[in-house]
Amino acid sequence: MENTYFRKGFGLKNEIAGRLTADYHSAIVETLRANEYRLNLGPLTFRLAREFGFCYGVDRAVEYAYETRTKFPDRHLFLVGEIIHNPHVNQKLRDMGVTLLAHRDDGEFDFSGVTPDDVVIMPAFGVTIRDFERLRAIGCVLVDTTCGSVLNVWKRVESYARDGFTAVIHGKHYHEETKATASQVMKYPGGRYLVVFDMDEARLICDFIEGTGSLAALEAKFRHSVSPGFDFERDLLRVGLANQTTMLSGESLGIAEEVRKSVVRRHGPDAAQQHFRSFDTICSATQERQDAVMALLQEPLDVMVVVGGYNSSNTCHLAALVQQHGITAYHIADADAVDVATGAIRHQPIGTKSEAVTAEWLGSSRIIGITAGASTPNNKVGETIARISAVAGVDLEAALG
């Protein structure tokens, strides 16, 4: 009988290595790495964060998708949503003949075109229990690229549900990873979850735990962010904190501490451990990229460019981190956002969901910081540097010899 579930790769790394290099390698990035992450180009100095771009989980997911195409050259390949939040990488998969499955109007993924003879790749964010069960029922081959850091969060919220604690998840309720994480608690009959986006939302929960919040206000605010049948009076008596792996770690830890304090004030310090649990579930790669940005900000910078998909949570948080420390940050989805002909930059302003174009953004800036989200390949970082150089009138090829 054919094995229809794969999670550990197909042992085809050597076969796909050349294609991965061709698709994602950057000589410019390698030059920066060899020069202590610094590059002087005439009037410009580029400084690259020491941790940036593809993390281990993304590397694995992309490699596994390429291996899948090699393993099943004659099968129809589908991908649930996007493999990662990067438009360039997802387009590469489309070019390889992978069909990206979209949501129907009711919010469910449309699996109507998938047959038992097909192969379906599950993304690095994972999929919900419901979607996994729907795919298993079809009988198709499943290739699971779910990141190990995400799986660790799943184990944590499962343990909360098993022990009768509500999982309070710091994340975006509409994000694929958070949806998949929240679904894990539903394995248990009494499983409950609540998703908080930021400290302001967390404080509403804290007020209610302490007996001062409005039930009607909570029900209205979190109507899209709680498990079915959620009862705030019952389900906030015992809570366990977790988070989407790509959130700002300082905020996640701060939210956990505020909730802990409220639980102590409500139940007393001796009984707090019976009502509160918390574990830092930010992934190490997310933390390393945030730390690298903070280190970069310790030295003079005129402007920062952050490269990564607009729907990439960790990229958005990197850009926000820069802006919080007083440096102008431009979050661009791809290198072509830097318009060499006009000198303008197309970007997503921090804290918004809309795109803007800023003319003459480079101005007199001479020291330019560069970083990239965990879903951004090196070639897009290198292309960004090349295009910024061109805007400044620098001949990159000549400068690099």
Active site residue 133: no
Q: What is the largest CA-CA distance in the chain?
A: 69
307: phi then psi, degrees, rounded to nearest 5:
-105, 125
Residue pair 124/245 in contact by the 8 Å Cβ criterion: no
Query: What is the token pair recorded at 149?
Result: 């850091």
Comparing CA positions, the residue from 272, 328, 10 lying closest to residue 143 is 10
Render the burial of 145-164: b for 16+ CB within 10 Å, e for the rest.
bbbebbbebbebbbbbbeee
Q: How far is CA 321 from CA 41, 79, 278, 287, 318, in A?
A: 27, 32, 24, 12, 5
Residue 45 pairs in a beta bridge with 40, 367
Q: Which of the residues 176, 177, 251, 383 is marked catalytic?
A: 177
Residue 317 vs residues 45, 206, 306: alpha-carbon distances, Å: 24, 24, 10
Does residue 382 contact residue 27 with C-beta atoms inside 8 Å?
A: yes
CA distance 65 to 127: 16
Tokens representing residue 364 in the block: 């007199």
Contact in structure between 248 and 321 (CB atoms under 8 Å) = yes
The C-alpha atoms of residue 85 and residue 292 are separated, in whole angstroms, by 21
Q: Which residues are catalytic?
A: 177
